[in-house]
Structure 1
C-alpha cells in the first residue's frame, strides 16, 4: 500500500508541475490546437490553445511508477515487472502515434493529421508487439502477463483463443479503447477526469487481486494475475497524473492533451484489461468511453440506413452542447456517469468474489 501512495504522489506532483512548463513552451512555439469547423461554434475560441499536453500525463505516469520502485528498494520491494512495463510501453507507443497525429495537425494548420488508415496501422503495430510479448515472460508460478482465455472478472476456460486469435482480440481492444478515449477528449477536462475515475477503480481492483492472489493466498476466489501489485502502481500513477493534468485542463483549459494523451490513455485501459484478466469488466468500468464511441457508430449506421441523424452531432457530448447545455454542465454530468460506471464495475467485481468464496 505504501508503494501505491508513493506512485500516486509522485505522478501527481510531476504532472501538476510539468504541465505549466509545457504550456509556456508550446505556446511560445505556436503548438496550438486546431478546432473542427462542424463542431459547436463556442469551441472556435479554443483555437490556438496549446496541445500535446499528454506528454505531462505520460511523464507523470512513468515518474510515479519508477519513482515508487526506487523508494520501494528501501522496503525490499520487488522491482518493475513485465506486466507493468508492458502496459506502460503500450501506452507510450500509442502516445507516439498520437504525437505524430498532433504534430501533423500543427504543421498543416488543419484539424487533420494522420489518415485513418495511418492511425490504425500504428495502433495495430503497437497491439501486436504488446500481445506477442504479453504471452511471454512467465513468472515464478508460470503465469504470463496475458492469458489466451476470454476474461470477465477472471479467466474463464469456456473460451480460449489460439495465439493468432488472441492477437486479433488485442488489436481490437487497443483500437477500440484508444479511439474511445480520443473521441471523449472533446470538452475541457472530460477525458482526464473520467480517466482518473476509471483508473481509481482499477487501483482497488488490482490491489484486491494482489491481496487475494493464488500465488500467496491460495483458496476459493483467488486470482491468477501475474503482477497485480505492480499494475496497481501503474493505475495509481496514471490516475494521479490525470488529476495533475486536470488542474490545468479544467475549463477554461490552458492546455489540451491531444491525441498524444488520449491514445496513450486508451492504450492504458486496453493493456490493463488484458493483464488483469478483466476485458469484459473494463466495458462496465469504462462505460462512458464505450457510450462515446458507440454514439459515433450509431450515428453512422442510422444516417447510412435512414438518411437521418440520431444525434445533432457525434460524439454525443457535443449533442448536449447543441441542446443548450453549458460545457461545464456536460462535463460534470458525464463525470458523474463515469463515477457511477466505476462504482457499478467495482460492485460486479466484488460480487463475483463473494460468489466465488460462497
Structure 2
C-alpha cells in the first residue's frame, strides 16, 4: 500500500507543477490548438490554447512509477522492482502517447485539423498494439502466469470464453486481434470524449481510481497467496503493480485537471487521449476485466456510440441526423447547455458507470463464495 501512496503523490506533484511549465513552453513556441470551424461557435475562443498536455500526464506517470520502485528498493534491497505487467502497460501507454504526440505536432505545426494521415495513424497504433499483445503473452512468473491470457474475461477469465488454440500461432493471432480491438475501442472512446474542458480527464480519474481498487482487491485475493480451500481467487500477474500505475494515473490526471478544468489553460490533445485510452485498455486486459470495461468506461462507450449512430443514420437516411452534432457532448452544447453543465453531468454519468462496474466486480466475488 505504501507504493500506491508514494506513486500517486509523486505523480500528482509532478503533474501539478510540470503542467504550468509546459504551458509556458508551448505558448513561447506558439503551439496552440486548432479549432474546427464546424464545431460549437463558443469553442472558437479556445483557438490557440496550448495542447499536447498529455506529455505531462505520461511523463509524470513514468517518473512516478520508476521513482517509487527506486525509493522502495533503497528502503529494502529485497524489493523486486518493476514487473513485466507494469512494463508492458507502460509500453502501451507511452507508445500510444507517442502516436498522439506526432498527430498533435503535425496539427499545430501546419495549423490544420488533420494531423497524421488516417492510414499512417492506424499503422502506428497497430504496431504499438501488436507489440503489447505479443509481449503480454510472455514473461511467465513462478506460477506460470503471463501478464495477459487467451481467455476472454468479465471480472476474471471465463473458461468457456477462450480464444481456442491456446499455445499455438492461431491462438496468438486471435489474441492479438482481440487485444487490438479493445485498444482501438478505448483509445477512440477517450479521444472522442476529449472535447470539453476537463471532461475526459475527470472521467478518466474515476476509471483509473476503480482499477486501483480492483488491483488492490485482486492482490489481497490472489491465487498465489490465498490458502483457504475453495476460496475464490484471482489469477492476475502483478495486480499491485497494476494498481500502482492506476494510482499514479489518478494523481497525474488530478494534477493536470487543475489546469485543464474550465476555462482550460491547456488541452491534453491526442498525446493524452490516446495514452489514456491505451492505459485503460491495457488495464482491462491485464486485470482480466475486458468485458467489464464496457460498463466501467460507460461514458466513453456512450459517446462513441453517439458518433456511430450519427454516421450510420446519416448515411441510411440520406442526410438526416439523430443528434444536432456528434460526439454527444456537443449535441447538448447546441441545445443550450453551458459547457460546465455538460461536463459535470457527464462526470456524474461516468461515476455511476464506475460504481455499477465495481458493484458487479465485488458482487461476483460474494456470489462466488
- What TM-score comes out, normalization by structure 1 length? 0.98
**Which residue number in structure 2 is paired with residue 329 of structure 1?**
341
Moved more, 59-68 or 221-230: 59-68
**Which residue number in structure 2 is paired with residue 345 of structure 1?**
357
**Which residue number in structure 1 is paired with residue 309 of structure 2?**
298
Runs of 4+ in 1 over 3 A off after TM superposition: none
**Which residue number in structure 2 is paired with residue 13 of structure 1?**
13
Distance 2:308 2:124 in 1: 21
Residues 80-132 of structure 1 show CA distances to partners (whole Å, capped at 9, x for unaligned) of 00001111110100001001100110121111111222211111111100000
Distance 1:9 1:78 in 2: 21
**Which residue number in structure 2 is paired with residue 175 of structure 1?**
184
Pairwise CA RMSD = 0.9
| Equivalent residues of 1:72, 1:78 under 8 A apart | no
**Which residue number in structure 2 is paired with residue 87 of structure 1?**
89
Distance 2:9 2:348 in 1: 24
| Equivalent residues of 1:128, 1:171 under 8 A apart | yes
Displacement of 1:159: 1.9
* Superposed counterparts of 1:156-195, under 5 Å: 156-161=158-163, 162-195=171-204
Q: Which runs of 5+ in 2 are unaligned?
A: 164-170
> Is the partner of 1:150 in helix, strand or coil?
strand
Answer yes or no: is 1:247 the counterpart of 2:249.
Answer: no
**Which residue number in structure 1 is paired with residue 49 of structure 2?**
49
**Count of aligned pairs:** 357
Displacement of 1:217: 1.1
Distance 1:154 1:206 in 2: 12
Residues 2-30 of structure 1 show CA distances to partners (whole Å, capped at 9, x for unaligned) of 11111100010000000000000000000
**Which residue number in structure 2 is paired with residue 310 of structure 1?**
322
**Which residue number in structure 2 is paired with residue 24 of structure 1?**
24
Distance 2:222 2:13 in 1: 31
**Which residue number in structure 1 is paired with residue 166 of structure 2?**
none
**Which residue number in structure 2 is paired with residue 144 of structure 1?**
146
Moved more, 170-179 or 242-251: 170-179
Displacement of 1:311: 0.6
Distance 1:77 1:198 in 2: 28
> Is the partner of 2:292 in helix, strand or coil?
helix
**Which residue number in structure 1 is paired with residue 244 of structure 2?**
233
Displacement of 1:147: 0.3
Distance 1:83 1:164 in 2: 20
Displacement of 1:182: 0.5
Q: Which runs of 5+ in 1 are unaligned?
A: none
- What TM-score comes out, normalization by structure 2 length? 0.95
Answer yes or no: is 1:210 the counterpart of 2:219.
Answer: yes
One of 110, 113, 116 as aligned partner of 2:115: 113
Distance 2:340 2:334 in 1: 13
Answer yes or no: is 1:266 the counterpart of 2:268.
Answer: no
